[in-house]
Structure 1
Amino acid sequence: METDMRGLNWATLGTGVIANQLEQALESRGRKLYAVANRTHDKAVAFAERYGIGKVYDDLNDVFDDSQVDVIYISTPHNTHIGFLRKALAAGKHVLCEKSITLNSDELDEAIALAEANHVVLAEAMTLYHMPIYKKLDELIGSGALGELKLLQVNFGSYKEYDMANRFFNRNLAGGAMLDIGVYALSFVRWFMSSKPDQILSQVKYAPTGVDEQSGILLTNPDGQMATVTLSLHAKQPKRGLAVFDKAYVQVTDYPRGERATITWVDDGRTETIEAGSTTDALAYEVADMETAIAGDPSVMHLDYTRDVMSMMTEIRRGQWNMTYPEEER
């Protein structure tokens, strides 16, 4: 059945930075959020007043029971995601969930099964998969112009103050570099690799709270393509992704929401820059693809890549580092 996309009602669960960007993205498409849910009611009211949104729930759980809600965007801390996913998916709501979509692969598999059972779309809000620059690069790779992929090098480093109570370092809020920023780096790797890595080596430095502060990761897939990933929450690095092919290498800066790529050709050293899309429209691209998925083409949300990335993160964090969160120890 074809759905009128202009008739889809979106609700936000959470009122942080991403929720503001979501509302602005909808407004750029001539739309508005239908409703706002938040644990702190006053924040939900203030958010609704700021944007002129008509509906605020007294109890955030009421969003799941509202028959007028078609899609819920979850942007709460990621250790709360699975609880909200269970309720939303069981209620027959489509869900776009902020990264990391869950803590581990077990939770993600459960959520995917729930989505399938209730015939709704579940997706992770991974901006990288929806930026036009990556679709343009995909076409170039597919044409054979760059040759075969050999190597990937991906960095992501933030400098966060050493406040062990904030969410970045707080184990009770699923802190650590892997789930917060590593998910972007590994999504970049998975986008370019022809198959999921099956060999993974890693090293980690822990913050005083026991979460991962810094790490280095080596990955190889069955096709012999290799990647190195460097992450840190207490050392600033450029968000730089490098894809090395036979005939050229491609660099994307600020790759989570990239809008341009620089290609350096091996034969003569010349460079060219290609551009597509706009960083500021990242959420608008995501919304558009989510609505395309709901209309009948779920492949545009790349849940298969999300599943592969979550598998890698779970293997590294639990399998190699033996690092768990309280929710995983109950």
Structure 2
Amino acid sequence: MRELRWATLGCGVIANQLAQAMESKGRKLYAVANRTHAKGVAFAEHYGIGKVYDQIDDVFDDPDVDVIYISTPHNTHIAYLRRALAAGKHVLCEKSITLNSDELREAMDLADANHVVLAEAMTLYHMPVYKKLNDIIASGALGELKLIQMNFGSYKEYDMANRFFNRNLAGGAMLDIGVYALSFVRWFMSSKPDQMLSQVKAAPTGVDEQAGILLTNPDGQMATVTLSLHAKQPKRGTAVFDKGYVEIYDYPRAERATITYVADGHTEVVEAGATDNALAYEVEDMETAIAGDSSVMHLDYTRDVMDMMTEIRCNQWHMYYPEEERA
């Protein structure tokens, strides 16, 4: 199979990490698309990328592009997904992949109709430590999952114009950081939660600033999630089984987990992969999916997480973005 040609749509922090991941594999991005052409040119010059499009939409019409990585703000994703998928491009899209479940279903239908791979760039699904933990769990060493406790809190300055609090840029804790916590929950739970209780504190702009969420699935597994954009918390995830519990810090790109076995209190440190290689793992799994094994991208988990976020944000909190009000 020939080497796939990747284009980045956007040239911010994640795009830089993508370019560096490619370089770590002895490769380069094929092309750059960016709304501000000068920034695209500077990005391409920095990484030795051969093509910069005059207009951002030109990337969709380029027959030489195989995969597009979308790393623009959440509320722009669906418009770019429509163009990319209809043009027959495989797409790896930054989290949150869409604003809501209806948008995601539309994108999934387009991917199916055009026989391409669509996936969310959720790093924890691709970090080797999670795959290693799955093997330990499957062995029965930890018993049955009972509880999950999740924390994610950032301290963002109270600037209501920045993207974290800006309603016009799909700001708020749920789509920015909650997506990580709920993806962790879905990774370990045996099925999607069907019971959801929550409380929310709104920022002055009307987006969610802080939240507490309680989840239960049909198997009786429970999870608690606390989120904040204005109160620092450790990025800590704990999965509690009847024979032991797993603790993971900095869980979105974790390379290390600690298991404590309750029978005698001894601990086991599980290490695999490297945080710095997070984007490289995503690229590898995406190319595996394009080669035929789409299960490694976990779009089913992405769908379940989007359903949870939509139920909580829209149906419980009644918090909508301008794009959703126009729909």
Measured against the shorter chain, the TM-score band is: over 0.9
Q: Which residue pairs with 2:48 in the alignment?
A: 52
Q: Does 1:65 align with 2:34?
A: no
Match of 2:302 among 300, 306, 313: 306
Name 1:166's counterpart in structure 2: 162
> Map of 1:261-276 to 2, 5 A cutoff?
261-276=257-272
Match of 2:107 in 1: 111
Q: Which residue of 2 aligns with 1:100?
A: 96
Q: Of the candidates 168, 182, 198, which is equivalent to residue 202 of structure 1?
A: 198
Distance 1:287 1:155 in 2: 27
**2-structure distance, mates of 1:299, 1:273:** 28
Gap regions ≥5 residues in structure 2: none
Q: Secondary structure at the match of 2:40?
A: helix
Q: Tell me, what secondary structure is at the counterpart of 1:162?
A: coil
The residue that corresponds to 1:220 in the other structure is 216
How many angstroms apart in 1 are the aligned matches of 2:162 and 2:211? 20
Residues 13-51 of structure 1: per-residue CA shift (max 9 Å, x gap): 000000000011111111100000000111000000101
Q: Equivalents in 1 of 2:270, 2:84: separation in Å?
A: 40
> Which of 316, 322, 327 is equivalent to 1:326?
322
Deviations 1:201-260 (A, max 9, x none): 000000000000000000000000000000000000000000000100000100000000
Aligned to 2:290: 294
Letter in 2 for 1:95: V
TM-score (norm 1): 0.98
Which of 73, 78, 88 pairs up with 1:77? 73
Name the CA distance, whole Å, in 2 between partners of 1:69 and 1:160.
37
Which residue in the other structure is 2:135 paired with? 139
Q: What SS does the corresponding residue of 1:47 show, helix, strand or coil?
A: helix
Match of 1:155 among 142, 151, 154: 151
Within the alignment, does 1:22 sit opposite 2:18 as a pair? Answer: yes
Tell me, in whole angstroms, the C-alpha distance in 2 between the residues paired with 1:329 and 1:173.
14
Q: Secondary structure at the match of 2:76?
A: helix
Matched residue SS, 2:26: coil
Q: What letter is aligned with 1:31?
A: R
Q: Partners in 1 of 2:257 and 2:6 — Cα distance? A: 33
Q: What residue is the counterpart of 1:241 in the other structure? A: 237
Q: In the alignment, residue 49 of structure 1 is paired with which amino acid? A: E
- Residue in 1 that maps onto 2:9: 13
In structure 2, C-alpha distance between the alignment counterparts of 1:120 and 1:284, rounded to whole Å: 21
1:31-42 counterparts in 2 under 5 A?
A: 31-42=27-38
Q: Greater shift after overlay, 269-278 or 235-244?
A: 269-278
Q: Would you say how many aligned residue pairs link Structure 1 and Structure 2?
A: 326
Aligned AA for 1:289? D
Matched to 1:51, the amino acid is: Y
The TM-score normalised by the length of structure 2 is 0.99
Deviation at 1:269, TM superposition (A): 1.0
| 1:251 counterpart = 2:247 | yes
CA deviation after TM superposition for structure 1 residue 170, in Å: 0.1
The Cα of 1:197 is off from its aligned counterpart by 0.1
User: For the residues of structure 1 that align with 2:192 and 2:48, how far apart are their CA atoms?
Assistant: 44
